[in-house]
Amino acid sequence: CGDIGDFTTENISSFEYCVRLVCNQFLLNGSSGRLISDKRVRVSIKSLALGCVAAVVRLHPKTLIIELFLECDKTLQKSDSSQKIWDILLYSTHTDPQIRGQIAIIIGHFIDEVLKESQTFNELKDNPYWLIKTALVDLKNGIIVKKESLQKRILNEVFFPFLADEDFRVREATAHSLCNLIPVLFTPAIHLDNDPITAIAFEHTIKNLLQKDLTFKDFEANIPPIKAFIDPLNSQHLILSAKNRLIEANLSDIIINLLNSLQFNLDNKHALIGYCNALAFLSNKYPITEYPDCWGSDLSETSVSMQLLDICMTLLSTSSLVVLDLTAHQSVLSLTGNLCEGLAYNAIKTNFKNSVAFAPDLDWGLLSHVSPHLVQQLEAIFTHLMRIMNIYSSIIDEPLLTSTNIMSTLTNYNKMPVIQTLSNSPLSPIRRKSLLKTSDLSDKMDSMKRSDSEKSDKDKFTKYGSNTLLVRLSEMIRASYLSNKTSMDLSGDK
């Protein structure tokens, strides 16, 4: 099993013979998984040999998958002892960087030529099967692309369309992959020379060296300490979290693109849910309190965070696509809560810098003074949350619906006879007792009126009978709850 043939051998191309000759002389030992040691062949010669193989693979990629010896093609094709040319890929773990670089070139040439010969690889994004789509976004997420035009194609032709896919599993996988893609995206604003090699070197410098001029913290010494809060509102947490320019720039671009796509697809159910879900994932992984510039968390009504908050509140109050879909409803609520956190923290910073006094007479304190528009949205979100809690409470507790007829009591009280008495005339014990009863009844009516007033204020936040969407939502949740309860009861009996 040592014949590699020659140029005159039939059915053997010159490319295959050259690769066999080079590998047999300088690279492979002849047994599967075995390489020629560096003591027999110098590292520099191995590097040159791999360069020759790389040039051949670029012209004829099939040479990478042939047998090393001719006789093995016929007699030992199924044997484990036969060695393939692809065993040269074992040099990828070699200590010499030039040899590892040559292996990377060989792999790149092979993949490039295979994809060119396969005319359908670019059509994977149009495949209707959801597993292929999720595998495609996972593959794209694992490949580091440092070319701006190719990166835009991946985002605009794969990720953003998949966020609007009909299958929720594709949307979920794409949103997760998009979050993981943020640190590795290529940012022309950071790399002015638009050089991929420089971009990769810059990332490794930030990751491994952590030089102060390459990293920065969005923290100022005059921010008030908030030690009693949990993350992401804990100032100590903000002090220790160092961010780099790459994540800042990439996150900002993705958020702007998602916001624009969301504004143009408010009537598209799948796109609306997918974009909101992606924004919710981003706000959880990259909190607005830590990345305020990326999310545009200034308190003006035209800022990115305020626009997103307005859109979320509009969806929660008017969109049946969001309110009646529990998963989408939860994503929008999560995004809304994170936006409120970031905007509220920015209000604290603004209040502290400008030394604005707290306004205890206002319902929302400093927020009422700094941003009245934010206060309106906060009241709306708290009202919505109270109504949602009331829906679940009424379904779980299953209270008996009883009505109290207070008006009948008032009517009977107004019909009581009034006895005219002189101011100086003494009262008999019977009349004195009747007046005491009358005063007690009036006190009871006053307390009932006060309780009714308090109840009306409470009902303003909790009652949802006039909201058609919330009524439909409560009916849907109640039906699901009763169905699950019945199933659990039946399984318990068994």
Assigned CATH for 14-117: 1.25.40
Helix (H) or strand (E) holding 216: strand 215-216
Q: Which residue in the block uniquely carries the two structure tokens 């999560």? A: 334
Spell out the domain ranges in the chain. 14-117, 130-395
Beta-bridged to residue 46, according to DSSP, are: none
Provide mean pLDDT across the span 211-239.
48
Alpha-carbon distance of 341 to 399, in angstroms, equals 35
pLDDT at 61: 86
Q: CB of 390 within 8 A of CB of 471?
A: no
Q: What is each CA distance from 395 to 122, 317, 470, 479, in whole angstroms?
A: 51, 21, 13, 10
Alpha-carbon distance of 355 to 339, in angstroms, equals 24
pLDDT in tens, 360-373: 556 676 777 778 88
Alpha-carbon distance of 416 to 437, in angstroms, equals 12
pLDDT in tens, 308-318: 999 999 999 88
- Other beta carbons less than 10 A from residue 39's beta carbon: 6
Give the phi and the psi of residue 67 in degrees, each rounded to 5.
-75, 155
* Lookup: tokens for 33: 């998984």
Of the listed ranges 89-103, 169-183, 411-425, the least confidently predicted one is 411-425
Per-residue DSSP letter, 54: H
pLDDT in tens, 41-85: 898 998 998 999 899 888 888 888 888 787 655 544 445 567 788
pLDDT at 71: 67
In single-letter form, the type of residue at position 334 comes to: S
pLDDT in tens, 282-326: 999 998 888 888 888 888 888 888 999 999 999 998 888 899 988
Provide mean pLDDT across the span 92-96.
88
Alpha-carbon distance of 275 to 162, in angstroms, equals 10
pLDDT in tens, 439-459: 655 665 666 655 555 555 555
289: left (phi over 0), alpha (psi -120 to 50) or beta: alpha
Max intra-chain CA distance, the chain? 142
pLDDT at 260: 92
pLDDT at 210: 54
User: Which SS3 state, helix, strand or coil, does residue 244 take?
Assistant: strand
Q: What is each CA distance from 377 to 164, 273, 324, 337, 351, in whole angstroms?
A: 27, 21, 21, 11, 19
Q: CB of 211 within 8 A of CB of 175?
A: no
Helix (H) or strand (E) holding 493: helix 468-493
**388 burial class (0-12, 13-18, 19+ CB within 10 angstroms)?**
buried
Contacts of 263 (CB under 8 A, 6+ apart): 311
Alpha-carbon distance of 377 to 430, in angstroms, equals 60
| Among 313, 265, 312, 280, residue whose Cα is nearest residue 164 | 265
Q: Which residue in the block uniquely carries the two structure tokens 């991946």? A: 154
- Other beta carbons less than 10 A from residue 421's beta carbon: 11
* Sign, CA torsion 107/108/113/115: positive
Buried-state track 131-166, b at ≥16 Cβ within 10 A, e below 16:
eebbebbeebbeeebbeeeebeebbeebbbbbbbbe
pTM, two decimals, is 0.69
